[in-house]
Amino acid sequence: MTGRRLWVPARLRPGDRVAVVAPSGPVDPVRLARGRQVLTEIGLDVVVMPRVLNRRGHLAGSDAGRAADLQEAWCDPDVRAVVCARGGYGATRLLDLLDWPAMGAARPKILLGSSDVTALHQAFAVRLGVASCFGPMPACETLADAEGPEPASLAHLCSSLFAMDMPAPVAGGQVIVRGHAEGPLTGGNLSLLAALCGTPYAMRAQGRIVLLEDVGEDPYRVDRMLTQLLQAGCLNGALGVALGSWVGCGDPMGVLVERLAPLGVPMIAGLPIGHGSPQFTAWLGADAVIDTESCSLTCLFRDPATAL
């Protein structure tokens, strides 16, 4: 990924077909039905791939089956976006099973997902050169709660997905290092980024803004994973750091500041991106801006036929 910009797929229009896949953990059918209805109500033609409700232990079916659904959805010319039902665990197991040349021959489209889907975001960037969407998923609480989707999260997702809108800046709660940074956004879930160290899909922050978030990790584990990224050189040359949510992580801010502030780049925290509610959307691979005056992260868009 270093030194090249990613192709930002064309954003959606009402009536576009999107395919739901399950690359990671098993999917709750009740939540999936609610989330599918939400996507339908915002104007999308939603198809659910045939193996989404499969289950094999802690996975949504076999590795081969999950990879097949993902590849078929990506290569279908009628599908304009591939939407991951949920995270959990298992996306890294698919990376050696996908036919990357076949997927590279298909028209680029939106990949939406977060958490464990970070592995796919990294792989699609490296193998396909495609930017992708880090945001809420249809079989997760943010969109599929029994009381309805969280309104701010849904609104921001729509403005990020649809061509007629521009996503609003995502406001954080704390400025750690002042300054202004602009460049392509990379990163995602810290646990997955640490797990990808030493693989072809390791994050390279050179010339990029880094987004980091996690869930259910004690501060000492956050420290260990940050140290791994630093020692592996994954954070070398970063332009800025944007810290998302740290749900169930105790109080990791001391560790985050200690390990990341010495990078000497603009750094903000408290962005509602990652886990919890609200859960806003970020385009990994698209240009973004950190503005510490407003303590915000803004994703930018250009004509996909030109710059990216």
Catalytic residue among 24, 114, 132, 213: 213
The label of the residue with tokens 């250009």 reads 302
pTM: 0.95
- Average confidence (pLDDT) per 10 residues, the chain, 308 residues: 73 97 98 98 98 97 98 98 98 98 97 98 97 98 96 97 89 96 97 98 98 98 98 98 98 97 98 97 97 96 45
Answer yes or no: 115 catalytic: yes
Q: Convert the pLDDT of each residue in 262-305 to its tens digit.
A: 999 999 999 999 999 999 999 999 999 999 999 999 999 764 43
Answer yes or no: 41 catalytic: no
CB atoms within 10 A of CB 43: 13
Question: What class is the 17-161 domain?
Answer: alpha beta
Coil, helix or strand at residue 62 = coil
User: In sequence order, what are the beta bridge partners of 47?
Assistant: 19
For the chain, the farthest-separated pair of C-alpha atoms sits apart, in whole angstroms, at 49
Q: Which one-letter amino acid corresponds to residue 222?
A: V
Answer yes or no: 275 catalytic: yes
Spell 128-139 as b/e; 16+ CB within 10 A means b. Answer: bbbbbbbbbbbb
Structural domain boundaries of the chain?
A: 17-161, 170-299
Catalytic residue among 24, 114, 115, 132: 115
The third-level CATH classification (topology) of the domain covering 170-299 is: Glucose Oxidase; domain 1 (3.50.30)
Catalytic residue among 24, 121, 191, 275: 275
pLDDT score recorded for residue 302: 60
DSSP state string for 194-254? HHTTTSTT----TTSEEEEEEES--HHHHHHHHHHHHHTTTTTT--EEEEEEEETS-S-HH
Query: Cβ-count burial of 78 within 10 angstroms (0-12 exposed, 13-18 middle, 19+ buried)?
Result: exposed
Q: Which one-letter amino acid corresponds to residue 9?
A: P
